Amino acid sequence: MARTEAVALRREATAAAWWRINATALLFMGPALLLVLVFFLAPVVITFTMSLTDLATSTGLSNWQWIGLENFARIFRSQFWLTILGNTVVYVAVVLAFNVLVGLGVALLTMHMEPKAGGVFRALWLLPRISPSVVYALLWVWAAASPPFGMLNYIVAPFGLEQRFWLQSDPWLIVILINGFVGASFGMLIFTSAIKAIPEDLFRAARVDGASALQIVRRITLPLIKWPILFVLVYQTMSLFASYEYIYLTTNGGPGLYATETWSLWAFHTALSNYYGNLEFAYGAAMSAILVLMGLAISIVLLRVFRFGQLVAEPRVEVE
Amino acid sequence: MSKRTAESRVATDYRLSRRQFLIATGATIAAAACATPPAGQGAPTGGAPLGTVKLSAWTIGPDAPSYYRRDNLVAAADKLNAKLGSGTNVQVDATFESGGQWGDYLQKFTLAAEAKTSPDIILAGHENFAPWVGPGYIVPLDDLIAKYQSEGDVKDVIPTLWTAMKLKGKTYGIPQDTEARPMYYRKDLLAKMGWSKDMIERLPDAVKNGEFAWPDLVLWAKEAISKGLVEPGKGWYSRPSKGADIYMFYYQNGGEMQDNATAKLVITKDALQKHFQVHADAVLNDKIMTKTIYGMDAGKEWHPTVTDGKVLFYNAGTWTWKDWQATYKVAEQSLWDNVGFMLIPAAKRGGKPVTVSHPLAYAVTSNAKDKDLAFRLIANATTPDLNSKHSVTSAHLAVLTTQKDDPTYKQDKFLLATQYMLDYTKFIPNHPKFGIYDDVLYRFLGAVEQGQNTPAQAVDGAVKELQGQLGDELIVR
């Protein structure tokens, strides 16, 4: 009996100590935790739950039934799921490469320009990001219209290239460019601020030692902005994985058989966009649930590969 | 105390003397007399509530030439109020919603219906009712139609249109408008190819009689291209986006979309292959239609090109006749001089031509507090004068048999000249999963036109996909 009481007392003491240590942290974290629960975790739970039903416009909220994993089986019965998955991988990989390389290139180039000119140049590159999405997408749609219309056709004509309906003949080119320019401006902002944060002494010392511009970039700039590059890579990967708005507004997943349809657009089309009004919420939720699982898997891989723990550790400067 | 004794006591307690009975009877008669409006002012009929009743209605739009979809409901309120008398005053809040975007409009209604904030009356395409019946967003109208037979002119609705209003034997809508989707042709271009004026004017009859069939249309389109009258790819323009028009070429080749007995969706493989072949030939083999038709911008490219007289044949709705005048500023006389219209020619000579109609209809929602009044408002908007105003303004065909005698309607020679097309018309099916069916077939049509699939491959692929997605809701023939 006495032993039981002692154990209980020890437990109480441990709990009290835990609260003493963590109460303040919980107080500060509480609101954020609540937001995460309500706006991040709850939608995921709802999506997974909904994916096990047949909820659609034709059932309403009053007439739905549990159907187990039928929605998931239906996804894999479609002959296009692999095509759409492939599209998603290509879209994320190519646009990501464009975003990071072009963003980095613009940041490096503008940092080597006269400051005012560099500022103007960067401001121009920001235009796609600060333009409303629909306006920006429509500008592309009009620019890529079929001949004799479309600004792109006028641009390529002097080079002897055949005029064409770009959205139909080269849909991926348009999808990559439209997303790439928006994403590149994000990378450019992060990289520019990171480069500006590098102590000027390092560049001056390198120049005194006779380093060329290329050597300075390779030996000083790039190593010192390794973390911002990783941040942009990770952030943009996850962002692209779930984004579809520019594809929706330009090719809408076509032409023809899901040529540019990505997984998130497929889910959107199924759950929230149907020409004849019968929306399949649960089937779309099943697609979203798979998207969540894929996102989770990619997140874990990225966190491990890029050692995310170090990314959020104390700031530091690394010099080779 | 026995039960019998208690009942006797209650009866004794409430027994009236003769004087009390006479006073009570007199008072009741006097009260009833005071509550009854004087003759001539009209009493509320059909159990209408006293006082002001507000009814709300959603119609899609604003759609430039089709504003009577909303305005006719407002006008009908005056007719209804006159019938109801002074005791009841119906006020209508009818609005245009979603800027003419169907997807947004339908979604908005669905969400409103779930939130129990939907309007009393909704205007929608007949096929939109199918997914709304299951969750009970709209109510069947058969009892109300029977109850208010003399209200408005619902009894005069063109019989074939009722087919499109029914789902599993029940009626869910009252037709608001309908149309046909003709094949337009350029008279001036045919004349340049040596057609006499008489031949050009007789073309619609030749199509009607099966003397001018699809291969003839293709032949003349190729001829126009070879003679340089139109550019390659501009012999025929089909609809550039999703829509019921696409199915005209499936129906043309004997396709079926819904089984009458089971109401299941149907795919006719042979007709589907011919439908795909028509488009493959047009785009890839005969090159009478441009490959860029799929996804072409209707407002910025399709309409400007056809109204410029650069395309020989092009299929569109009857409403575009007015749209070309209102939006693209083509003078009506110029249209009459240069543009003709006919049914979609039969697949072979001697066959039956076809068109497709897509009636819009008013429905009463389950959220309507007074369904009788909501229906009566619709019924009063369904009259020759109001429907004809809409028809004439927007080039939509009559939905009432009596409209042909309406003075407004009779003055519109385009409507009179296209009305016969309803005898050849077909509808898209009323089925809750039609959206899936349509999406698959439209994507495969695109694949055929882009050369991604041959027609045979597209049929196999489409049937397999439809079977996977629709399961036993699909019948393959």
Contact between residue B315 and residue B182 where contact means Cβ atoms under 8 Å apart: yes
Question: Class for domain A81-260, per CATH?
Answer: mainly alpha
By DSSP bridging, strand B88-98 and strand B51-61 are parallel
The position carrying tokens 């997140």 is A299
Q: Which whole number is the average pLDDT over A62-77?
A: 94
Given this model, what pLDDT does residue B24 score?
Answer: 58
Cβ-based contacts of B102 with chain A (< 8 Å): 275, 277
For B34, the token pair is 């005071």
Amino acid (1-letter code) at residue A305: V
Rounded distance, CA B35 to CA B249, Å? 63
Q: Nearest C-alpha of chain B: how many angstroms from A59?
A: 5
Closest of B109, B360, B300, B342 to residue B211, by C-alpha: B342
Is pLDDT above 70 for B2?
Answer: no
Say yes or no: B292 contacts chain A, CB-CB below 8 A: yes
CA-nearest of B346, B383, B348 to B362 is B383
Contacts of B17 (CB under 8 A, 6+ apart): none
Whole-number Å distance between alpha carbons of B348 and B215: 7
Count CB neighbours of A33 within 10 A. Answer: 12
Q: Which chain A residues have a beta carbon less than 8 Å from that of B300?
A: 142, 145, 149
Quote the pTM value.
Answer: 0.83
> To probe the interface with A, which of B102, B110, B279 has the most A CB atoms within 10 Å?
B110
Query: Mean pLDDT score of chain A, rounded to an integer?
Result: 90
- Percent of chain A residues topping a pLDDT of 70: 97
Question: Cβ of B132 under 8 Å from any chain A Cβ?
Answer: yes
List the single range of A195-204, A256-265, A294-303, B387-396 with lowest mean pLDDT: A294-303
The predicted structure's pLDDT at residue A10: 85
Virtual torsion, Cα B357, B358, B360, B364, nearest 10 deg: 110
Average pLDDT over every residue of A248-266: 92
Contact between A277 and B452 using a beta-carbon 8 Å cutoff: no
To the nearest whole Å, the CA of A56 is away from the closest chain B CA by: 9
DSSP letter string, B193-233: TT--HHHHHHHHHHHHTTSS-HHHHHHHHHHHHHTTSS-TT
The pLDDT tens digits for A7-61 are 888 888 888 888 888 888 889 999 999 999 999 999 999 999 999 999 999 998 8
- At how many degrees (to 10) do helices A42-50 and A281-305 cross? 130
Nearest to B468 among A78, A146, A256 (CB): A78
- For residue B143, how far is the Cα from the chain centroid? 22
> What phi and psi values does residue B456 have, to the nearest 5 degrees?
-65, -45
Question: Which range in A148-152, A223-227, B14-18, B435-439 is most confidently predicted, on average pLDDT?
Answer: B435-439
| Residue A216: strand, helix, or coil | helix
A57 → closest Cβ in B131, B438, B465:
B131
Which pLDDT score, from 0 to 100, does residue A317 have? 56
Find the CB nearest A63 among B110, B134, B433: B134
B300: contact with A, CB 8 A cutoff: yes
E strands present in B344-470: 355-356, 360-364, 425-426
Which B residues in the span 170-229 are in contact with A, Cβ-Cβ below 8 Å? none
Q: State whether residue B289 sits within 8 Å of chain A by CB.
A: no
Using a CB-CB distance cutoff of 8 angstroms, which residues of chain A are in contact with residue B469? 74, 77-78
Cβ-proximal residues to A19 (8 Å cutoff; 6+ apart), any chain: none
Partner-chain contact B443 A256, CB within 8 Å: yes
Instruction: Note whether B292 contacts A61, CB cutoff 8 Å.
Output: no
Chain-wide mean pLDDT for chain B?
Answer: 89
Please give the average per-residue pLDDT across B192-208, as a whole number.
Answer: 96
Q: What is the pLDDT of residue B348?
A: 95
Judge contact between B455 and B250, C-beta under 8 A: no
> Rounded distance, CA B136 to CA A58, Å?
9
Angle formed at CA A191 by CA A185 and CA A196, multiple of 5 degrees:
125
DSSP β-ladder status, B170-171 and B166-167: antiparallel
Residue B21 pLDDT: 54
Percent of chain B with pLDDT over 70: 90
Exposed e or buried b for every residue in B397-426, given b needs 16+ CB within 10 A?
Answer: bbbbebbeebebbeebebbeebbebbebbb
In this structure, what token pair is assigned to residue B223?
A: 């001829």
CB B115 within 8 Å of CB B137: no
Mutate to test the interface with A, among B107, B118, B289, B305 (most CBs of A within 10 A): B107
Instruction: Please indicate whether residue B229 or residue A314 has the higher confidence score (pLDDT).
Output: B229
Q: Do A77 and B136 touch (CB under 8 A)?
A: no
pLDDT band at B287 (very low <50, low <70, confident <90, very high): very high
Asked if the model's pLDDT at residue B291 lies above 70, the reply is: yes
d(C-alpha B453, C-alpha A258), whole Å: 13
CA distance linking residue B292 with residue B283, whole number of Å: 9
On chain B, the residues whose CB falls within 8 A of the CB of A139 are: none
pLDDT digits (tens, 9 = 90+) for B45-89: 556 677 889 999 999 877 767 789 999 999 999 999 998 887 889
Q: Give the DSSP H or E segment for B454.
A: none
Residue A89 is predicted with a pLDDT of 95
Average pLDDT over residues A199-209: 93
B437: nearest Cα among B473, B409, B411, B412: B473
Q: What is the mean pLDDT of residues B241-254?
A: 94
Model confidence at B179: pLDDT above 60? yes
What percent of chain B shows pLDDT beyond 90?
76
- DSSP designation for B138: B
Supply the pLDDT for residue A198.
Answer: 93
Across the range B387-399, mean pLDDT stands at 92
Residue B127: list chain A partners with CB under 8 A. 276
Predicted confidence band at A227 (pLDDT cuts at 50, 70, 90)? Answer: confident
- Neighboring chain A residues of B433 at a CB cutoff of 8 Å: 58, 278
Residue of A nearest to B440 (CA): A257
Beta bridge partners, B274, equal none
Cα(B86)–Cα(B91) distance, rounded to whole angstroms?
13
Mean pLDDT calculated for residue range A99-126 = 91
pLDDT of residue B20: 60
Length of chain B: 477
Domain ranges within chain A, ordered by starting residue: 43-80+264-306, 81-260
Residues in chain A: 320
pLDDT exceeds 60 at position B106: yes
Give the per-residue pLDDT at B42: 42
